[in-house]
Amino acid sequence: MISEGWDYPELGIIVMARPTLSKVLYLQQVGRGLLILEFDFSLRRMYIHINILRIYIKIQKVMTFNIRTPVKGDEINYFWNRTGRITEVIGKELPDLIGFQEATREVREFLTTALFPMGYLVVGCGREKDLHGEGTVIAYRRERFELLSLESRWLSLTPSLPGSTFGGDQSGCPRILTAAVLRPDGAAEPILFLNTHLDHKGATARLLGAAEIMQYVADKGLHFVITGDMNARPDAREIAAFTDFAPCGSAVVDATEKLGGTFHGLQSLSEF
């Protein structure tokens, strides 16, 4: 693709085969074939331009990561023995958005410091009454997104009350939802990015949590991405509460549908 000093208005199609995160370079290259040949072609050219821009702002990669809270009994798998591997994997994959689970205060501080040089901002708080303890923090690439709002909600009948729970079959652990409204670079409309960690004990608590999250999504009325540790099998009712809902008028896409189980107990999946 010739990116400078050359235009070809007669061009019928443009295929972007050169990856770039630079909007300036992208528009410069695409613009080689977007000059109007005749007035009658203006609307067609405008349509092509708009749709190419939509492709440009598409989120390329999302990661969900139960980072495992620091437990000395994990021995070689103790969190502070894995920090190098954690940053290595994230640096290799460079996802646009990351949802972490089990991120305690010290883990959040580590992630904030370690991921900043990679271009990430880490936001979110802990799930306890004092906003400490484990949290479902999120990380986003700061050159690709503008943070418009951030909210922490407790999965309970009183979601604005820190540390609150549903009770019933829920464990003693509060469960939290971290929700960020982000505007992708070059996009007119923002997206909603949510990250959670459903209860490990109570199926009813998980189902209520999933329903509360999807009601929140419906109220927002934005296109959305949800990450999390759902503590449930793919065929569980709480998973169906996510995938069977259509808050934006179209079906939810489960990007993990063909993965099967993902719990590995800090072993390789082939060994577990």
Please give the share of the chain, as a percent, with pLDDT higher than 70: 72
Burial of 155 per CB tally in 10 Å (0-12, 13-18, 19+): buried
pTM score, two decimals?
A: 0.76
Cα gap 198→102, rounded to integer Å = 11
What does the pLDDT look like over 122-160, one tens digit per residue?
A: 999 999 999 999 999 999 999 999 999 999 999 999 999
Confidence (pLDDT) at 251: 74
pLDDT band (50, 70, 90) for residue 56? very low
Tell me the range of 45-59, 64-78, 239-253, 257-271 where mean pLDDT is highest. 64-78
Confidence (pLDDT) at 226: 95
Confidence (pLDDT) at 40: 41
The answer to whether residues 36 and 42 touch, using CB atoms and an 8 Å cutoff, is yes
> Which are the contacts of 254, defined by CB distance < 8 A and separation ≥ 6?
239, 242, 243
What does the pLDDT look like over 183-192, one tens digit per residue?
A: 998 888 899 9
Q: What is the mean pLDDT of the chain?
A: 84
What does the pLDDT look like over 223-272, one tens digit per residue?
A: 899 999 999 988 899 999 998 876 656 678 888 877 766 766 766 655 44
pLDDT band (50, 70, 90) for residue 31? low
pLDDT band (50, 70, 90) for residue 51? very low
| Phi, psi of 10, deg, nearest 5 | -75, -5
Q: How far is CA 44 from CA 14, 38, 109, in A?
A: 13, 11, 50
Confidence (pLDDT) at 256: 81
The answer to whether residues 139 and 111 touch, using CB atoms and an 8 Å cutoff, is yes
**Is the four-CA dihedral 263, 267, 268, 272 of positive or negative sign?**
negative
Cα gap 170→216, rounded to integer Å = 20
